[in-house]
Chains A and B, each alone.
Chain A
C-alpha cells in the first residue's frame, strides 16, 4: 500500500519569496508522483508529475519538484511566489505501471497563502 504525507497544512509566504511545499511518500513499489493544485470550488489541475527518468521535473506556472528516492520525498518549489499561486496543493502517488494509474492516493493538502 502507498501513502503520502504533506508537512504543513498551511504555508504562508510573501509575494516574490521562495515557495516550498513538502511531500513524503511511502510505497512498496516504484511510485509515480504528482502535484495538483485546487482553487476554491474547482477540480484539480495537474502541476507536474514524475514517472521515470530525470528526477527534477518542471511543471506549469514555474513550479518544479525533485524526486529523491533515498529521502522518499517529492517537494514542490517555485523561486518567486505570485499572488495567483494562492490555492490548495495536493501531492499524490500511484503505483508505477500495470493497472493502477487510475487510482491516486493523496496527501492531506497544503493551503498556500501569498501576502503582498
Chain B
C-alpha cells in the first residue's frame, strides 16, 4: 500500500540496549524526518534528511543515529537506550518544495518504552 509506514508500532526495551525504528515511504519524497512527541513538549525534531545520504541534526539529536542509503527508508537508531528516550516517535516525509507544497505526511508512530 502507498504511504508512510513505521515499524514496530510498539516496542519495550531495556536501558543500554540498541533499538532501531524503521520508516518507509512509497511517494519518493525527498525529505524525511524523525520527531519525538512528549507531554509538555509537543513534537521535537530529532533528525531530518534532504535526500539519500544527506542527513542533518534537528533540535534533539543526542543519543540517536540515522542513515538514509535509499530514498524510501530512514531508520532511526538509539545506540544505547535511556529511560528519557521513552516517547512516541513519528516519522514524516515531504516533497520539500518550498512555497509549493510543504505538507508533511506522518507515519502512525512508534510507542517506545525504555525500562
A-B complex is real: no
Could you tell me which A residues sit within 8 Å of B by CB distance? none
